Copies of this chain bind each other. A is one copy, B any other.
Amino acid sequence: MVTEALKVLIWNEYIHEIRDENVIRIYPDGMHHAIGTALTRLLPGVDVRTATLAEPEHGLTEEALAGTDVLLWWGHAAHEAVEDAVVERVKQHVLGGMGLIVLHSGHWSKIFTSLLGTTATLQWRSSGDRELVWTTTPSHPIAEGVPNPIVIAEQEMYGEPFDIPAPEEIVFISSFSGGEVFRSGVTFTRGRGRIFYFSPGDQDYPVYHHPDVQRVIANAARWASPRSRERRVPSLRGPVAPVV
C-alpha cells in the first residue's frame, strides 16, 4: 500500500463551467475545484492536483501521470476532443497500476470504453429526478460512512440497461423518481489498475457539493490507490525456461 500521501489528479474537461450560466453558478471554479476541496478536507495529507482539456496534452503528460496514484475523470461535452495518444497514455498507466475513478458522463469517455470493451450506453433523462443511492454491499470500503440510501434531491436520471461488462463488485444501485434503476457504483480491474465508476454528478445539479457524494469519492480514492508506485504494465514473457 502506498503509505506516503495519496496523490490524486482530478481531470475535468471544464467546458460547462465556463460556458453555461447555470453551471457557473453551481461550480464557479469548476467541478474539479469542488471535488478537490472536498478530498483535501476528507483525506488528511492528500496531494490534490487538477488538469483540464484545454491544457497542453490535456494536462495529462507522462510526468503528471507518473506522479499520480489515482486519476479522476469527468467529461461530457467533448469526449471526442480528447486526443487518442493521451487516452492511450492514460490507459497504459491504469494497466500499470494507477487507480481510475470515472465520474458520471465519463461513462462515455474514450478511456472508459477502451478499458471496458463495451459501448457503456444507457438511458437518460435530465429533468431533476430525485436519486436514491442504495448500498448493496455494506461492508465495502467505498460505502464506509455513508447513509443507506444517499438522497440526492435532483439529478440526471441514468437508467438500465447499462452496457458494461459484469462488474467485479456492485457497491451501489440507484433508483430515480421516474422509476428507473441503475448500477451507480461499480468496480473493475484492468491489468494492475483498479477502476471505480460512480454515476452521480451531472453538471446541472450541485451533486459534488453533497457531503455523502464527497465521502464516496474520497473512499474510492483510497480504495483505488495502488500498492506500489512502480508502474508495471503486464507484458509478454518468453520463451521462459520450464520450472522443472
Contact = CB atoms under 8 A, between A and B. Distances in A.
A173 B166 contact: no
B227 A149 contact: no
Tell me what chain A mostly uses at the interface: helix, strand, loop, or mixed: loop
22 contacts: A114-B117, A118-B191, A123-B236, A123-B237, A124-B237, A124-B238, A125-B238, A125-B240, A127-B242, A136-B160, A138-B232, A139-B189, A141-B227, A148-B160, A149-B179, A157-B240, A161-B234, A163-B191, A165-B190, A175-B176, A177-B244, A179-B242
A153 interface: no
Nearest to A136: B160
A85 to B, nearest CB: 15
A50 interface: no
A192 interface: yes
Given A121-B234, A138-B234, A144-B227, 12 more contacts: A123-B237, A124-B238, A125-B241, A135-B161, A138-B232, A159-B240, A165-B165, A165-B189, A166-B168, A173-B173, A173-B181, A178-B243
A107 B125 CA distance: 34
Instruction: Identify the interface centre among A124, A166, A169: most chain B CB within 10 Å of its CB.
Output: A166
Contacts of A238: 123-125
A22 interface: no
Given A119-B191, A168-B166, A175-B179, A242 B135 contact: no
Interface in A106-122: 108, 114-119, 121-122
Nearest to A92: B119
Interface string A58-81: 000000000000000000000000
A173 to B, nearest CB: 5
A226 B138 CA distance: 12
Interface string A80-98: 0000000000000001010
Interface string A177-193: 11111010000111111
Interface string A22-62: 00000000000000000000000000000000000000000
